[in-house]
Amino acid sequence: MNEVITIGIDLAKTVFQLHGVDAEGRPSLRRQLRRSQMLEFFQRQPACLIGMEACASAHYWARELIKLGHEVRLMQPSYVKGYVKRGKTDAADAEAICEAVSRPSMRFVPVKSEDTQARLMTHKAREFLVRQQTQVVNAMRAHLGEFGIVVPKGIHNVERLIAACDRADLPAPARKALNLLADQLVDTQKKIEGLTADIRADARGNEDAQRLQTIPGIGPITASALVSALPDIADFKSGRDISAWLGLTPRPHSTGGKERLGRISKMGNRYLRRLLYLGAIAQVSARRRGEPGEDWLWKIIQRKKPKQAAIALANRMARTAYALMKNKTEFRAATAA
């Protein structure tokens, strides 16, 4: 067997498919491995280039294989799809990964450390609990509406919702069910507060997060998420690259020398993009209530709808974050204006 220099791995929960090629690009390895056989196999394998699709377990396997002396590169699955010749099989996927990882124009995903994954898990857990909180609130409001009790929308009206449950003259079964939902809501809110406190503490201990919080519209949660989720800032050539990476730039659809720009691409990290948008829409709302002026945001608000202005501001915030992290400086409103 010729020496294998590049291996593509189609990751799975139990059975992993491998496809390897030699220096001439000829297939020299086609094999299935069970999860317990992975590390043992690569311990005996000479150091080589390994390609994998970036997924939930990819960063773990990348760290383990790097410890064994291999070079590991992760790729976005949508970039690999174009190299699949025909059909959808594990062997075809592994072959496509092996082909894609050797392309000089391929873009790779940085391997996350355990600490980075742990911080991001805190954000994901908090986001999950926030969705649960919304579900419980909507359920309680809907059930009370069946008995003619209506409470205004908004998470800031949660206390009024719980008070309405206590005051309502409801049948015993309905009261029991609503009390269970109210208890779950209170418990979920306490868990959210605990995770939020952890994120704020992490942001206070990070210099880059402190710099980002000087940008209007970016608080500790957004700053911590940006610092944790963004790859090495040196990987971006300009601020536009980071806004494009976040999916905040227009999607091009150009042909025949005619350039057409559509809505934002939404190709990047959805969580980061949403946090930036929420901070931007808060700034837009506050600015619309303020005095007229000649600043950039006021001019945008006069020409665009509020949500469009928020997207433009979120794009600007992403570029500003890039500049602060690259130059190790703080935001100065006079300079920005």
Kindly report, residue by residue over 125-168, the tens digit of the pLDDT.
Answer: 999 999 999 999 999 888 888 888 888 888 888 888 888 888 88
Helices (runs of H) and strands (runs of E) counted in the chain:
14, 8
CB 97 within 8 A of CB 85: no
> Can you give the pLDDT at residue 337?
41
Query: CA-based angle 157:277:77, to the nearest 5?
Result: 120
CB 96 within 8 A of CB 8: yes
- Give CA–CA dist 191/183, Å, rounded: 13
CB 196 within 8 A of CB 127: no
- Taking only the tens place, the pLDDT of each residue in 48-71 is 999 999 998 999 999 999 999 999
> Can you give the pLDDT at residue 207?
94
Pairing assessment for the beta strands 49-53 and 71-75 based on DSSP bridges: parallel
Of 181, 178, 200, whose CA–CA distance to 189 is shortest? 181
Query: What torsion do the CA atoms of 100, 101, 107, 113 make, to the nearest 10 degrees?
Result: 140
- Give CA–CA dist 73/27, Å, rounded: 19
**DSSP bridge pairs for 252:** 261
Backbone angles phi, psi at 45, to 5 degrees: -80, 130
- Taking only the tens place, the pLDDT of each residue in 257-316 is 888 888 898 888 899 999 999 999 999 999 999 888 888 999 999 999 999 999 999 999
pTM of the model: 0.87
Two structure tokens written together for 229 = 């989720």
Q: Residue type for 268, please?
A: G
CB 19 within 8 A of CB 7: yes
